[in-house]
Structure 1
Amino acid sequence: MRFLSLESMARPSLLAVALLCAPAWAERGDRNRPLAFAADSARVDEVRQLNVLSGNVEITKGSILIRADRVEIRQTPEGYQSAVATGAPNKRAYFRQKRQGSDEYLEGEAERLEYDSRSDTVRLVNQAVMRRFRGSTLADEVAGNTITFDNTTEVFQVLGGASSAAPAGRVRGVLTPRDAPASEPGAPGGGIGQ
């Protein structure tokens, strides 16, 4: 697996633009960082405005890290971008990013991760888990079938269902007050399985 910079691709504009739109809660400096990716294959379709990275995909851009089996990136004629990252069988897609102005990180896992720049939302679909870390300590964790995060309002919604990451298809979570010490997963009150 070899990392390529976007500058080494012949026509990288669509891929670069799609991942430049870092969420509002994200580290602002990520927007200006170079994007690098590694995959077993890459396909660029300029006519359909579609880029497909397949096989052991890893994308980095500043503090952003995405790992998936496949990532499809599209652009509408109006200039809006969307990206869908899917995991391999029995392995979820993963993302991690630093939050602006703090030592906090958000990370998420799901069978499918979706980003839509028009609505500025991120959706984690099937076996969805989202975590917030303060440094290396787990502070918050939610799990369900689908987690939707609206970057404009900084509001998230968790829905249960048959493909929930929480037991019995329910929604589960642990939310730590901002001024309270975060707990370790598995500690009393910590972790989704509690």
Structure 2
Amino acid sequence: MTRPPFAPLLTLGVIGLLLGSPPAQALEGDASAPIEVEADRLDLDDRAGTAVYTGDVDIRQGSMQLTGARVEIQRNDQGQLTRATATGERAYIEQKPAPDEPLVRGWGRTIVYHVAERRIELIDRAELHQGGDTFDGGYLEYFLDRRVVQARAEAEGVEERQRVRMTLEPEQQDGP
């Protein structure tokens, strides 16, 4: 069985699968929101299962945004999205998990979103903000569904050691 050509419209649908997330984990309308992609260049390779956007890339859908100088999207032989990798001096990802929760924002020189695992890797000058809480280091890993953060001072392929720093806001107490 042959796959359909990896046309730009199909690519946008694949990006929708990347950015769309179950309503319990993101704003209700995110998965059905229009997908907006801006870049200077797009290179598609159907056989390799890749779409590479370059030049100030900005991908948005609902409350989710992914930016970088370069964003590569990979899919498997079944056409399912497996990974999105954003790179640049300060690649960026954000999403609002729920209407009553603060925006989650992350930066790094490399951001890798593993779709099936719903896991984000922030690599080199990594930074993650959840409300008033911040995490910094050479490598941060964030699990979207469990809201778990793992941090390390060193990242593979990064020469400079970047110590882990964390700032946690105290919970607000009701009443006197």
TM-score by length of 2: 0.81
* Equivalent-residue separation in structure 2 for 1:19 and 1:49 (angstroms): 17
* Equivalent-residue separation in structure 1 for 2:84 and 2:14 (angstroms): 11
Structure 1 counterpart of 2:27, one-letter code: E
Identity of aligned residues (%): 26
Judge conservation of contact 1:75–1:81 (CA < 8 Å) in 2: yes
TM-score by length of 1: 0.74
Judge conservation of contact 1:127–1:164 (CA < 8 Å) in 2: no
1:157 alignment partner, one of 145, 150, 166:
150
Judge conservation of contact 2:15–2:35 (CA < 8 Å) in 1: no
Q: SS of 2:140's equivalent?
A: strand
Q: SS of 2:18's equivalent?
A: helix
User: Which residue pairs with 1:18 in the alignment?
Assistant: 18
2:108 alignment partner, one of 105, 110, 115:
110
User: Which residue pairs with 2:87 in the alignment?
Assistant: 86
Shift in Å, 1:47 = 2.1
* Equivalent-residue separation in structure 1 for 2:116 and 2:63 (angstroms): 23
Q: SS of 1:47's equivalent?
A: coil
| Equivalence map 1:1-194=2 (5 Å) | 9-12=8-11, 13-21=13-21, 25-78=25-78, 79-87=80-88, 91-133=89-131, 139-161=132-154, 169-179=162-172
Unmatched 5+ stretches in structure 2: 1-6
Unmatched 5+ stretches in structure 1: 1-7, 134-138, 181-194
Shift in Å, 1:132 = 2.0
* Equivalent-residue separation in structure 1 for 2:122 and 2:32 (angstroms): 25
Alignment coverage as a number of residue pairs: 163
When the two chains are superposed, the root-mean-square deviation of aligned CA atoms in Å is: 2.5
Structure 2 counterpart of 1:130, one-letter code: L
Judge conservation of contact 2:30–2:63 (CA < 8 Å) in 1: yes
* Equivalent-residue separation in structure 1 for 2:159 and 2:34 (angstroms): 35
Shift in Å, 1:45 = 1.7
* Equivalent-residue separation in structure 1 for 2:145 and 2:95 (angstroms): 17
* Equivalent-residue separation in structure 2 for 1:124 and 1:169 (angstroms): 13
* Equivalent-residue separation in structure 1 for 2:77 and 2:21 (angstroms): 17
Judge conservation of contact 2:73–2:81 (CA < 8 Å) in 1: no
